[in-house]
A and B are shown apart, each in its own frame.
Chain A
């Protein structure tokens, strides 16, 4: 029973089928809203919204926030925020369907949980920073950009995966 449960939780969708489904989701987003998917923009909206509540004066002084609030006067009533809320729900549904709901830190046996969490946090900071600089992350800029043949999307995609491959050797202990 135990074994069977574990097996089920390791069963994933065929990657090509998953890709086609993801492509269909992306088409739906473009057909309905005229825009691709995204993730980091939602984080930015939440940051802007928090700032609006905590320090509205500061918000106006900062050119980056000011521009953002001008485009979206109500930062939480934003397409990406709704979409990412949906991602949490969708992920949870799939996780419960396959029996993968479990609070845990996933890490290579060669490193401790603590080290994994430090690395995850560091990676998050870098990704958060890079996604703002690059105007979008893997989903917003690279995937959605490639689907509409945006030159910027291909450049960002190449830079992300190129760098990650180049650095892979130095971080191999974290993963294998």
Chain B
């Protein structure tokens, strides 16, 4: 009988301790600093406006745009289909399913590319995959896609083709009618980003 009382008290004591301490909600970093530096140096996270415009016009379902500016800016102007996750709210649990997945390519954007890049670094360090940054941000987007500069008529063909593409993309995304597009011109980087499936996170299934 005595033993039973002692056991009861000690297990309640452990319960009290666990109830009293704050829950451990720290998310461990999955990437080492040097791994992250390596990725950042390679600038592989950047998505050029031309690539993005191409994907948006083709309504590529694998693209998920994430606007990391605050809500006011988001309501004034945003890219089609973007969702608003302000940088300050990035670690909120409710965004976790959007950020940590292996179905879509998440493309962060902000006015420039600094805030978007910060979001990229943080989420990347948490081990999330398929994250990208819109190169140059909205400023560069407006400059290149919305108001492209007509190159001089002596410019190489390549550049003229790129201008045609941008102009067409700009009017398509700006709400203009359907425009048949030629294949997008030079895409900057050769390798297209591909979806990375999560490696270890296979949830056990079937219950019992």
Whether chain A touches chain B in the assembled complex (some CB pair under 8 Å)? yes
Within 8 A of B (CB), among A134-173: 134-141, 144
Contact of B7 with A41 in the complex, beta carbons under 8 Å: no
Within 8 A of B (CB), among A112-133: 131
Task: Give the residue among B7, B204, B206, B208 with the most A Cβ atoms within 10 A.
Answer: B208
The dominant DSSP class at the A interface is: helix
Contact of B208 with A137 in the complex, beta carbons under 8 Å: yes
The 0/1 profile, CB within 8 Å of A marked 1, for residues 168-208 of chain B is 00000000000000000000000000000000000011111
User: Which B residues are CB-close (under 8 A) to A79?
Assistant: 204
The dominant DSSP class at the B interface is: loop
* Size of interface on B: residues with Cβ below 8 Å to A: 6
User: Which B residues are CB-close (under 8 A) to A33?
Assistant: 204
User: Which A residues are CB-close (under 8 A) to B7?
Assistant: 16
- When chains A and B are docked, how far (Å) is the Cα of A18 from the Cα of B81? 56
* Size of interface on A: residues with Cβ below 8 Å to B: 25
CB of A80 within 8 Å of the partner chain: yes
Within 8 A of A (CB), among B1-51: 7
Shortest CB distance A37–B (Å): 8
CB of A39 within 8 Å of the partner chain: yes
User: Which B residues are CB-close (under 8 A) to A62?
Assistant: none
Contact of B204 with A141 in the complex, beta carbons under 8 Å: no
- When chains A and B are docked, how far (Å) is the Cα of A80 from the Cα of B208? 8
Q: Could you pull out 15 A-B pairs where Cβ atoms are within 8 angstroms?
A: A38-B208, A40-B208, A41-B206, A41-B208, A45-B206, A72-B205, A79-B204, A80-B206, A80-B208, A131-B208, A135-B206, A135-B207, A137-B208, A138-B208, A144-B208
Known: A16-B7, A140-B208. 14 other contacts (CB 8 A): A33-B204, A34-B204, A38-B207, A38-B208, A40-B207, A41-B208, A71-B205, A79-B204, A80-B208, A134-B207, A136-B207, A137-B208, A139-B208, A144-B208
Q: Measuring CB to CB, which residues of chain A are less than 8 angstroms from any residue of chain B? A: 16, 33-35, 38-41, 44-45, 68, 71-72, 79-80, 131, 134-141, 144
